[in-house]
Amino acid sequence: MAEVSEVLMSVLSTIRVPRPGDRVHKDECALSFSSPESEGGLYVCMNSFLGFGSQYVDRHHTRSGQRAYLHMSRTRKAPKEDEENSGSGDPPKKKPTRLAIGIEGGFNVEQEQYEEEVKVVLFPDRQEVTSDDLATMPDLVRERVSLAMAGLMSADSVSHALQVQQWDGEVRAESRHAVELKQLDNGTKIPPSGWRCEVCDLQENLWMNLSDGRVFCGRRYFDGSGGNNHALLHFQQTGHPLAVKLGTITPDGADVYSYDEDDMVLDPKLPEHLSHFGIDMMTMEKTERTMTELEIAVNQRVGEWEVIQESGATLRPLSGPGLTGMKNLGNSCYLNSVMQVLFTVPDFQSKYVSNIDKIFDEAPSDPTQDFKTQVAKLGYGLLSGEYSKPAPDPGEGSESSSEPRGDQVGIAARMFKALIGRGHPEFSTNRQQDAQEFLLHFINMVERNCRSGVNPSEAFRFLVEERIVCQQSQKAKYTQRVDYILQLPVPMDQATNTEELQEAERRREEADSSGAPPPAPVRACIPFTACMAALSEPETLTDFWSSAAQAKTTATKTTRFASFPDHMVIQVKKFTFGQDWVPKKLDVSIDVPDTLDLTALRGTGQQPGEELLPEVAPPPLMTPDVEVKAPVLDDSTVSQLCEMGFPLEACRKAVYYTGNTGIDAAMNWVMGHMDDPDFSAPMVLPGTSSAPGTTPTESVSEEHLATIVSMGFSRDQATRALRATSNVLERAVDWIFSHLDDLESMEVSEGGRSAAESEGSREPPPGPKVRDGPGKYELFAFISHMGTSTMCGHYVCHIKKDQQWVIFNDQKVCASEKPPKDLGYLYFYRRVTE
């Protein structure tokens, strides 16, 4: 022990006590999904506070020289059985009574009981030091190490800080209408029972308007249940904002809804407002389920396996390499589904998983913040099979598993989700998101982090050819743009079961008028061929500026493929807006084929004898004056183009010559002028002798310049970044790190000035690289959405593995018997090679 004490004394200066703001990773390994519950436990560096599993701690010790680690291991305790299951007399688990997480009455955050063992381990010999051992060591060693151990154990881990540990869905704001609410003296008195809707005689889900005392039914739910919207219609007609749900009134309060604020609210004067219509809160009893109870019932059902079972079949659980489930971290099913599919694509496998040792060897000192490392970690976790194991039984002798059939231990991608979502207004939250938007967000991050070397997102990248024909001159214009997803329209007027839909609508209207329960909804059946026909139809442009006519006129635009990617992603445009601008989801069934031939949609370019529209800029967007002034360019469009890797001056020209008409038009200009000899030369306007970017009038902040230069960049590089981002420091720093290849090629002189902006100083960089080949594909995966909006509901994915369809529903991985290919949202095809 004396030898161990000496070792501890020698490394004492490297042992730190966590301070506020330190990131402590004591729940998850930085390079794998090992945790204190895993075999071998977790080793937390007592200097950097990074956690490492037993297979990676030696690597960190060798690279960092750090010797002292806090080893944490946890063993699950066997929980007490519920009374209803065992008859042991222990109280059963309480059902939630509040729409909340982690507080009394709310949903239980799964707090499993563990026996925990903690000790210090000294590398490379793995000498172990327990708390009891410390008691025999010198005071300095004992106090310093004990303090560090206690600090690490009490510190909140990063994953804990990111997780929603406590949430109360019943916290309601006070309505702005409550205090000054005007109540009509119309003599209305509400009886204590026997209520009916004044319009349809419905006797449940009734709301009394607090302004006039009139009683109407509530909203109709997405499944046809609920009311008939008469309370809402009354608000729209009268503007009376507040209503109370009859049957929820008790001495403790009631459900109050503000139609104007579109939310459940608090009414501090509710007793007074109810008394106005003869209702005494102190004598009322609850007879209806509150909105909270209704939401709780929904939340309890959402996680049930039966909700997404196929035709009620008992699905066979699967496990092994490539069959690993992912834990839902709180509405993270969109992320889980997308990443499961992406790591079925060979490009992502070879980029991140095949090279994982090289990636880990080259990882920075804090791998938790490195994009490539965390993506590789996730990919290996999904494909290796190490975490594809059935969820453990709750304890010895238990007859039933605590998890539904099909659940796995799986992986919890907390570190990955935090890194991918950092700084994003939506993906950094625990709200539900659109899987298509997340896919594009992730592809954009891959693009930014693969500016040199192999880029796996090229598997999805393709060129779109747009042919615009001026109807006045009959001259054409060809442009190309980059895309990653084919958006497929849904022509509802092409439904094959129109008569059935009309009959269902007729029955629904009859039910509305009679107050009868609504009939079962009927799903529209849309042929896939009709969707493809709608995609290829020419589009009429009514406000097209024709360079031939030098005026605005009508044109037709036809869209075709200029290249076919290795993998084609198709998004069915199910989500739209109604005439009242309320988002809605089209309930449709589309006979999506297993094989797809897009050959007929390949673009052919300029036709023989076809005249092109002259390349003349639209009227300049500049202030008319005696002296020609620099145009006002859309900086956000310029910045977007720069982030795609194009030269700054080319991006400025693109925005100028397309008249600030948006990113698509500017991108088309770029693709059509990449071969111009002056593509990347400074933009020179008519009547000026130099580019606007080089005039003294376009100044940058000296303070911002100094900040960026202090980071190791030249003054010219800093100037370029600030000009590309409208002089915003935060955006400039982000821009400069995403354009390192361009900046490193700038020739810097001793004085810190660069010649890169001089005309012809270097070759223009190549544009986006695309692959091309036959347009024949086969379906290998699809992502489905359940719910009324992309902002709510649930996502699952089906992936074809070894000719067997597999359903991935978060932690549940099972063989699919009847994959619902007609109800998908995102479809993934791969090229069929002859």
Query: Which residues are identified as catalytic?
Result: 333, 794
DSSP type of residue 540: E
Gap between the Cα atoms of 520 and 522, Å rounded: 7
Classify each residue of 668-688 as buried b or exposed e, where b means 16 or more C-beta atoms within 10 Å of its C-beta.
bbbbebbeeeebbbbbbbeee
Tokens of 104: 């009394």
Around 354, how many Cα atoms within 13 Å sit in the side-chain half-sphere?
9
**Centroid of chain to Cα 665:** 27
**Sheet arrangement for strand 51-53:** 51-53, 42-45, 68-76, 114-122, 127-129
Gap between the Cα atoms of 585 and 112, Å rounded: 39
Residues making up the chain, counted from first to last: 834
Tokens of 130: 């327990």
Nearest to 243 by CA among 227, 225, 222, 221: 227
> How would you classify the pairing of strands 524-526 and 588-590?
parallel
- H or E segment and range at residue 536: helix 528-536
Gap between the Cα atoms of 121 and 142, Å rounded: 15
Gap between the Cα atoms of 55 and 245, Å rounded: 59
| Torsion angle of C-alpha atoms 734, 740, 744, 749, degrees rounded to 10 | 0
Nearest to 814 by CA among 801, 823, 795: 801
Nearest to 705 by CA among 726, 680, 729, 735: 729
Long-range pairs for 694-698: beta carbons < 8 A, 24 or more residues apart: 694/757, 695/630, 697/630, 698/630, 698/723
DSSP type of residue 183: -
Gap between the Cα atoms of 816 and 363, Å rounded: 38
| Coarse DSSP helix, strand, coil percentages of the chain, rounded to the nearest 5 percent | 30, 20, 50
Contact (Cβ atoms closer than 8 angstroms) between residue 260 and residue 241: yes
- In 79-155, beta strands by DSSP E: 100-101, 114-122, 127-129
Query: Kindly report the CA angle at 801 between 797 and 806, in degrees rounded to 5?
Result: 40
Cβ count near 724 (within 10 Å): 23
Long-range pairs for 19-24: beta carbons < 8 A, 24 or more residues apart: 22/49, 22/155, 23/49, 23/158, 23/368, 24/49, 24/152, 24/155, 24/156, 24/157, 24/158
Nearest to 721 by CA among 638, 796, 599, 818: 638
Residue corresponding to tokens 């223009």: 764
Residues 6+ apart with CB under 8 A from 14: 46, 47, 66, 67, 68
**Centroid of chain to Cα 130:** 44
| Torsion angle of C-alpha atoms 513, 515, 521, 524, degrees rounded to 10 | 10
Nearest to 810 by CA among 819, 825, 797: 797
